């Protein structure tokens, strides 16, 4: 997994609430057996017209937002399905940080598995940051320090310590869990004794 | 200390607990389908890892499969590759798979319970957000992403943080024509699509206890639409009876031992919930969704909302966007909404009782001439059962198409989809923009309400057709 440390970019602002995973990446693109190549289809239905032409009004079709690495969006971002294609599409497009006042649980967890940092901030702060998007000014995110710097201001954000460590170091969490093999084996041994039917299928 | 049902299942599955609260949780049951698994198997191969317990995983292709004649295979090239990739991966890693022509094939969340793979007190995961369905059996069941699918395959565990306890109590009796689908739509309308974020919901109360196993599955299924990853119901005699003698249910001595454990699975008196709401069943009416979020619910007697009445600017914009997408005018009566299509099926409402409920309304009636309607059973076994009961004939005689099992138009990954601006009364679970096809407009309803809409040609009150 790609490490996440610091990031500087003009943010793109998408002021829509409840952006669901169907909007982020519609089902016709879930037929892939790869993780890559989904960026061109990110927000497909908002981004292209029926002829497949880019819709000029859509923020990510506009310069400089077509190069944004930070997306600011309305509350409950990523609700709906568990498809990891949603963070894969964001990542492939180049977005590695999403800021919202709330995220859906599965999407939130999926981000951390892919080197994307989701940041939860109060609505008021979101509005402040969105001004930087409107003015096309850069903001920077520092995961080490848990802070966003914009102009002469900074905001602190919370992130789970374990998740932060995984992002900073780009850790493979399967390898981490496999280090606990002995504990897993002991658990399984007890399970076989106490609930033999679990393995008996 | 008194514990909730969720606390108990959580504690019983703790392999390791770190100081920061991060837990390694054992996974008893893992369901796999073709869409969210190829990259996970690829990851295993790339890092030279094996599946830790192939017999705790069950695979079935459902999202992409055609619902029409399957004798010639899948014509869509990409769908075909995905289904074939699942078959190849299951063979390589030794995982049991129900192939497309196996009558046990169906939507994962219909197949799991049907086979007795789903059991009380287990942790069940699947790369699909509607995994919450299995919570109806008193299991902790939730959807995961593909990286987590890979993690479960490799380690039979998951890294998790404990969620909050949220109890939804529904007491009383439902009025005639009102179903568990209306109950869950009402709950989502009340708490909102983010109302359950960070929580596990336990459904309780005498109404919940009075529901059949399948009706409970409909409620738990849509828990994710209220933002909670898992929803569960304490198992009881109905659940035990349902599971007895299913192919993968415990047998003989194991059954007795399992029963002993299963009977202990309930929330202790005095257990603490972080959040709690109460609903009275008598007050729930047949519901529809009018907008593009499952929280956009009104009763069939009500009108579509007017954004002008909203003070909150974000909410107002969101209402306007939804109305515009849905092609509806503010204050329009629900019953004046004319429909083009009807879809009965999905992991929410594709089981035998759902088909019976719709068939009861459709018996000896014809659907409106302009309506195209289809029934997609949740599994091959549901289809077979329905045919034995003659339900297929009722559907076909009324003008419905009778299809092969799969996810179908719930998410429109196969050929079954809405055209732009087509409007559908659907028994599925999501009315998001484009969910059933680009530009398509979805109204979520119960199976009976879908049947009523098919006959009337517009959204209508199922009670009108009740005998």
Q: What is the pLDDT of residues A190-199, one digit of tens each?
A: 999 999 999 9
Mutation for testing the B interface, residue in A105, A175, A199 having most B CBs under 10 Å: A105
Distance from CA of B210 to the nearest CA of A (A): 28
pLDDT the model gives residue A1: 87
pLDDT the model gives residue A172: 85
- Most confident by average pLDDT, B68-72, B74-78, B139-143: B139-143
pLDDT the model gives residue B165: 98
As a whole number, the mean pLDDT across chain B is 97
Determine how β-strand B164-171 pairs with β-strand B287-289. unpaired
Residue A200 has pLDDT above 80, yes or no: no
Whether residue B20 and residue A161 make contact (CB cut-off 8 A), yes or no, is yes
pLDDT the model gives residue A201: 52
* In contact, B430 and B294? CB cutoff 8 Å: yes
The mean pLDDT of B41-65, rounded to a whole number, is 96
Residue B19 confidence class, pLDDT cut points 50, 70, 90: confident
The mean pLDDT of A122-129, rounded to a whole number, is 96
ipTM of the complex: 0.94
Mutation for testing the B interface, residue in A81, A111, A185 having most B CBs under 10 Å: A81
The mean pLDDT of A139-153, rounded to a whole number, is 97
* Structure tokens given for B245: 């003698």
pLDDT the model gives residue B467: 67
> What percent of chain B is modeled with pLDDT above 70?
100
Distance from CA of A141 to the nearest CA of B (A): 24
Task: Kindly give, in sequence order, each residue whose CB lies less than 8 Å from that of residue B33, ignoring residues fewer than 6 positions away.
Answer: B59, B60, B61, B62, B63, B86, B108, B126, B127, B128
Of B185, B137, B172, residue with least CA distance to B28 = B137
B290-313 pLDDT, tens digit per residue, is 999 999 999 999 999 999 999 988
Closest partner CB to A31 (pick from B64, B197, B430): B64
B321-358 pLDDT, tens digit per residue, is 999 999 999 999 999 999 999 999 999 999 999 999 99
pLDDT the model gives residue B20: 85
Taking the Cβ of residue A124 and every Cβ of chain B, the question of whether any pair is shorter than 8 Å is answered with no
Of A46, A62, A115, residue with least CA distance to A87 = A115
Residue B3 has pLDDT above 70, yes or no: yes
Distance from CA of B353 to the nearest CA of A (A): 25
The mean pLDDT of A6-26, rounded to a whole number, is 96
Residue B315 has pLDDT above 90, yes or no: no
Instruction: Kindly report the number of other CB atoms within 10 A of residue B176's CB atom.
Output: 9
Whether residue A184 and residue B156 make contact (CB cut-off 8 A), yes or no, is yes
pLDDT the model gives residue A54: 97
Closest partner CB to A33 (pick from B81, B119, B193): B81
In this complex, how many residue pairs, one in chain A and one in chain B, have their CB atoms less than 8 Å apart? 184
Sheet holding B14-17, edge to edge: B14-17, B22-26, B157-161
- Would you tell me which residues 69-98 of chain A have a C-beta closer than 8 angstroms to some C-beta of chain B? 74-76, 79-84, 87
Whether residue A161 and residue B55 make contact (CB cut-off 8 A), yes or no, is no
Of B424, B420, B352, residue with least CA distance to B391 = B352
pLDDT the model gives residue B312: 87
Taking the Cβ of residue A164 and every Cβ of chain B, the question of whether any pair is shorter than 8 Å is answered with no
- Lowest mean per-residue pLDDT among B24-38, B46-60, B142-156, B303-317: B303-317
């Amino acid at each position: 997994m790609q490490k996440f440390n610091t990031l500087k970019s003009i943010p793109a602002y998408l002021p829509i609430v409840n952006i669901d995973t169907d909007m982020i990446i519609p089902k016709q693109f879930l037929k892939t057996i790869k993780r890559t190549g989904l960026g061109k289809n990110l927000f497909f239905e908002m981004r292209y017209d029926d002829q497949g032409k880019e819709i000029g009004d859509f923020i990510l079709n506009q310069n400089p937002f077509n190069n944004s690495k930070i997306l600011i969006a309305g509350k409950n971002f990523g609700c709906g399905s568990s498809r990891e294609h949603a963070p894969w599409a964001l990542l492939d497009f180049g977005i590695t940080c999403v800021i919202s006042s709330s995220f859906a649980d599965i999407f939130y967890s999926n981000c951390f598995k892919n080197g994307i940092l989701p940041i939860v901030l109060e609505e008021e702060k979101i509005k402040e940051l969105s001004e930087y998007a409107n003015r096309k000014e850069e903001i920077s995110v520092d995961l080490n320090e848990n802070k966003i710097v914009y102009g002469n201001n900074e905001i602190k954000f919370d992130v789970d310590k374990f998740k932060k460590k995984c992002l900073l170091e780009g850790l493979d969490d399967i390898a981490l869990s496999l280090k606990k093999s002995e504990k897993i084996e002991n658990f399984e041994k007890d399970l076989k004794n106490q609930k033999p039917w679990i393995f008996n299928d | 200390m008194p514990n909730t049902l969720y606390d108990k299942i959580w504690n019983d599955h703790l392999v390791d607990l770190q100081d920061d609260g991060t837990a390694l949780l054992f996974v008893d049951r893992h369901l796999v389908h073709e869409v969210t698994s190829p990259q996970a198997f690829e990851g295993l191969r790339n890092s030279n890892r094996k599946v830790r317990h192939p017999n705790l995983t069950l695979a079935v292709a459902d999202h992409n499969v055609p619902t029409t004649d399957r004798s010639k295979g899948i014509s869509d090239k990409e769908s075909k590759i995905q289904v074939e990739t699942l078959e190849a991966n299951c063979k390589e890693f030794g995982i049991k798979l129900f192939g497309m022509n196996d009558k046990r094939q169906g939507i994962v969340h219909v197949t799991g319970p049907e086979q007795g793979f789903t059991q009380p007190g287990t942790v069940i995961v699947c790369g699909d957000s509607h995994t919450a369905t299995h919570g109806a059996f008193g299991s902790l069941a939730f959807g995961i992403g593909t990286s987590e699918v890979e993690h479960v395959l490799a380690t039979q565990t998951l890294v998790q943080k404990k969620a909050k306890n949220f109890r939804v109590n529904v007491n009383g009796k439902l009025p005639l024509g009102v179903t568990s689908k209306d109950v869950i739509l009402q709950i989502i309308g009340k708490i909102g699509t983010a109302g359950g974020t960070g929580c596990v919901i336990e459904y309780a109360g005498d109404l919940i206890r009075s529901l059949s196993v399948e009706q409970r599955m409909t409620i738990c299924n849509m828990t994710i639409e209220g933002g909670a990853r898992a929803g569960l119901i304490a198992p009881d005699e109905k659940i035990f009876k349902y599971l007895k003698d299913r192919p993968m249910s415990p047998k003989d001595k194991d059954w007795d031992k399992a029963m002993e454990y299963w009977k202990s699975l309930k929330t202790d008196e005095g257990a603490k919930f972080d959040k709690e709401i109460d609903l009275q069943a008598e007050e729930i009416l047949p519901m529809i969704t009018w907008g593009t979020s499952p929280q956009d619910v009104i009763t069939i007697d009500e009108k579509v909302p007017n954004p002008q009445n909203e003070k909150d600017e974000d909410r107002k914009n969101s209402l306007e966007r939804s109305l515009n997408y849905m092609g509806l005018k503010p204050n329009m009566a629900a019953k004046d909404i004319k429909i083009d299509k009807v879809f009965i099926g999905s992991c929410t409402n594709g089981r035998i009782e759902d088909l019976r409920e719709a068939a009861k309304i459709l018996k000896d009636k014809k659907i409106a001439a302009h309506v195209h309607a289809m029934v997609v059973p949740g599994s091959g076994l549901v289809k077979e059962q329905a045919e034995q009961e003659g339900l297929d004939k009722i559907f076909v005689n009324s003008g419905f198409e009778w299809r092969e099992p799969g996810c179908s138009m719930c998410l429109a990954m196969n050929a079954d989809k809405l055209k732009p601006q087509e409007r559908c009364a659907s028994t599925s679970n999501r009315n998001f923009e484009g969910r059933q096809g680009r530009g398509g407009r979805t109204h979520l309803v119960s199976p009976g309400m879908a049947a009523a809409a098919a006959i009337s040609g517009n959204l209508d009150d199922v009670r009108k057709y009740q005998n």
